Amino acid sequence: MPVTLNTSEPDFEARFIDMLSAKREDSADVNDAVAGIIAQVRKRGDAALCELTSRFDRLDLTPGTLRFSAREIAAHVAKVSTEDRAALTLAAERIRAYHERQMPEDASWTDAQGATLGWRWSPVSAAGLYVPGGQAAYPSSVLMNAIPARVAGVERLVICVPTPNGHVNPLVLLAAQLSGVDEIYRIGGAQAVAAMAYGTDTIAPVDKITGPGNAYVAAAKRQVFGRVGIDMIAGPSEVLVIAEGDQNPDWLALDLLAQAEHDADAQSILITTDPVLGHAVAGAVDRILPTLPRAQIAGASWRDYGTIIIVRDLDEAAALSNRIAPEHLELCVDDPEALAAKCVHAGAIFLGGFTPEAVGDYVSGPNHVLPTARSARFSSGLSVLDFLKRTTLARLTPGALNAVGHAAMRLAAAEGLQAHGESIRARLELLNERAGE
């Protein structure tokens, strides 16, 4: 049974804090194991990749078979049904169209002192995209990671996707093809992250690594950060649904279960102003849950982390939502836009009863790689900007340097950095000499 909280009860605050602080990730410390894997890949390269893939994925590879060949990709992609191909193509088109609107513009202007200032945007040269392939393989993750990178102008896109026991998901390869991916490697885990970060004889290193994964992948991304950029350290997924009393309880139950079936550590939360609706949703979950193919996973998630919170009004719901800072926020209320304006901490917001979070995982357009574990308080979901770098530009005329240089010299002196000041003084002295001629 899920936890039920009520803001009117005296122990609500303590129980709410307990819910916020509950650890939903595997408590096993994997950092040492991951550090050892990274060290092996750095030292032994392809040989380590082959050995680790044999051990963890039960797949024997050679350096020559780490990468999918063009012929293999074509053969697997040919297995995709016409209907699945059409659905994936539609998703790719919508995701691309959305992310194309995110492209920022370069800027340049001349200020009152005559200094020309601005910035320009340029893509990273190579990006590595990790795609989970353990419990399930997700072609949607390929689209959500690769398309923004390609829209940003990244020249080289690399995908690593584990293929345990040699099992290949043709939809993943088709998604890579639709996204314009250059290289696909059948390796996973911390060893794949290490290969993309440091390179081997077969796999050239990249500049940035994105994509979700298990605790080992997350730890590896954390450890290689600095050598390469990363998108985020993602934890278990979560959804918060805020609903009023006239909503369909079966729909809400399905939305909660859609999140729960991801992982036993996922969390589904319902906040409602109506206790009767909360009870009806709990009953609908109990009725629908046994019918799901992933009932065991979803059931564990709902049992251990499912929560129903009864609030006095929607203002109180918004305040709690901002404290939770959910990855996904569904607003199943009469005026979702008004409520959304009050919800300032969320990875993605889904407005209205006909906008289930599940559609956002696939075809609505915005990215589904989102901040988890309350990190939406300070971070955003994956976007084109994650694959771009901003370089500032400045050009001072002699007059502009004369106008601002003396202030810079004063600040350099205040910080005890003599050479800083002298580099400016030398130029100003030349200007003064010229002025006196």
Q: Which tokens is 92 given?
A: 């790719």
Is 237 assigned to a binding site?
yes
For 118-134, the DSSP string reads EEEEEE-SEEEEE---S
Active site residue 327: yes
Q: Is 263 annotated as a binding residue?
A: no
Q: Which helix (H) or strand (E) holds 421?
A: helix 418-436
Sheet of 116-123: strand order equals: 107-110, 116-123, 388-395
> Tokens for 291?
């019918």
> Phi and psi (nearest 5°) for 24?
-105, 0
The closest of 100, 101, 119, 99 to 109, measured between CA atoms, is: 119
Residue 198 counted as an annotated binding residue: no
Tell which residue, 318, 327, 360, has the closest CA to residue 346. 327
328 is in an annotated binding site: yes
State yes or no: 415 annotated in a binding site: yes
Q: DSSP letters along 73-132, please?
A: HHHHHTTS-HHHHHHHHHHHHHHHHHHHTT----EEEE-TTS-EEEEEEEE-SEEEEE--
Catalytic residue among 76, 99, 328, 368: 328
Do 159 and 181 touch, CB atoms closer than 8 A?
yes
Determine whether the annotation assigns residue 165 to a binding site.
Answer: no
- What's the CA dihedral at 131, 136, 139, 144 to 10 degrees? -50
Considering 327, 330, 357, 368, which one is annotated as catalytic?
Answer: 327
Q: Is 322 annotated as ligand-binding?
A: no
* Closest to 127 measured CA to CA, from 391, 390, 386, 370: 386
Backbone angles phi, psi at 40, to 5 degrees: -60, -45
Using the CB atoms, write b or e for 371-406: b if 16+ within 10 Å.
Answer: bbbbbbeeeebbbbbbbbeeeeeeebeeebbbbbbe
Is 262 marked as a binding-site residue?
Answer: yes
Cβ–Cβ under 8 Å, residues 140 and 174: no
Short-list 48, 68, 49, 373, CA closest to 188:
49
Cα–Cα distances in Å, from 95 out to 51, 129, 145? 37, 16, 10
243 contacts 277 by C-beta, under 8 angstroms: yes
406 carries a ligand binding annotation? no
Q: Cβ distance 190 to 38 under 8 Å?
A: yes
Segments of 155-196 assigned E as strands: 156-160, 183-185
What's the Cα-to-Cα distance from 181 to each of 59, 106, 139, 142, 199, rounded to whole Å?
23, 26, 13, 9, 18
Residue 296 among known ligand-binding residues: no
Binding-site residues for Zn(2+) sit at 259, 262, 361, 420
Binding-site residues sit at 130, 191, 214, 237, 259, 262, 328, 361, 415, 420
Binding-site residues for NAD(+) sit at 130, 191, 214
- The catalytic residue positions are 327-328
